[in-house]
Amino acid sequence: MIIKTKYHGEIRIDEGQIISFENGLPGFNDETQFVVLPLSEDSPFLALQSVKQEHIAFIVASPFIFFKGYEFDIDQSTLELLHIEDIEDVEVMAILTLEEPFENTTANLKAPIIVNKKEMKAKQIILHDASYETKHLIGGGSC
């Protein structure tokens, strides 16, 4: 399948790469299918690219790269919705807000994206932990 992307132009993807968000992402409820594409070969940053809309792509990364103490529990309804049976199948991504200079780039730790890599299902959850915010400086390295 060929899709148009924001950062990579027109590319071919395998349908097995598509991650399904049953309810879309907050603010993008109609966008239910995304693929994760590396921004470059050696970068921790990825593009979460809509399959349908080339202009809808979010820069994401594993929050654990930048925030060693980041931890939370996944609620039971999310575990069931995503059919998560083994923690090894889970991938967590944080949406980044890129800023100039780059040191001002932030990660949304309040609303991580949970992916079941085995089932290719995902959901963005909202954490109720007051210590996490939508804009944590990635250069800060602490939560």
Task: Name the H helices within the chain.
Answer: 63-66, 76-81
Cα 115 to the center of its chain, rounded Å: 8
pLDDT number for residue 74? 95
47 with 59: CB under 8 angstroms?
yes
The pLDDT, as a whole number, for residue 142 is 62
Q: Give the per-residue pLDDT at 83.
A: 97
In order along its 143 residues, the chain shows pLDDT tens digits of: 999 999 999 999 999 999 999 999 999 999 999 999 999 888 899 999 999 999 999 999 999 999 999 999 999 999 999 999 999 999 999 999 999 888 899 999 999 999 999 999 999 999 998 899 999 999 866 65
